Structure 1
Amino acid sequence: SVVPNKPLQMPKDMAALPAPTPGGSNLVDPTPEADAVAALGGNIARGTPGDAGLMAQVSRFGVDPSIRQTLAQEDLDYRRKHDGRLLERWFNVTVYYNAYSRQSLDQYAELERWRARGVRNVSAPPKD
């Protein structure tokens, strides 16, 4: 969470300095996302904060500005309905994973299902 500033550099030409931008970014400010793109061989100039085509596709049916609040409330309601047994509530034991266990994916069973179909996944652990 703590990123050091970039080292200071002397400009090549003191007469060609950029105009100051009050409240703007500084040349020594850390840019971890752009640095990661450059380190992986990407082109920083081609990257955009939001891909216009992707954004158009995912928002084609409209966008609910309060979706985060709606989902948070629905999640809270669901967890209240599945809040555990008396002693779990009494001792404040988390029941989050138990509440969502029916919705979780068994990753190893899914991996075997895809392997049985002949699909390779080179990043998956090898068969025992």
Structure 2
Amino acid sequence: MILSRSVLMVMAIGLTLSACGSGDDLRLRRFKNTGNGPDEFTVLPTKPLQAPESYNSLPPPNPGGANLVDPNPEAEGVAALGGNPAALTPHGVGAADGALLNRARRYGVTGGIRQTLAREDLEVRKRHGRVNIFNIGPNDDYTDAYKRQWLDAQRELRRLRAMGVGVPSAPPPKR
């Protein structure tokens, strides 16, 4: 009985102290700045304005794009460490990956393959996916649609070994 009274007393003290908290200061919980003061995330330190060497060399106006005096901390850090800041901008395929890309392209490249595959995948999932109107049970249309195309590792292992193909061992069969 004494233990239950002490538990109730601790709970009452905790409830009383939590009621003392003020819910008026919610500034840290807001995502938008609703005040009229400056937003610390929009005030950026920029480089001082300088006249260009030639006004003809200025890039055309780009609304919403980068400004010439905007800070670029990654490029500035690379330059400070003695690197080439131009290496940060992607320039296509690197020299180390050229041979791999040429090997992959040896039979030709289909343009728009990602859009084609996305459209075909959507068609397959619509055709073979089950309809789960009430959201009862697991909702996995992808597995339902492609289950017929899964490979049986043990059967493929036996088939390839019968053909004389050297294959590594497969996981043990499920029991």
TM-score in terms of structure 1 length: 0.49
Structure whose alpha-carbon radius of gyration is higher = 2
Taking CA–CA contacts closer than 8 Å with sequence separation of 6 or more, which of the two structures ends up with the larger relative contact order? 1
TM-score in terms of structure 2 length: 0.38
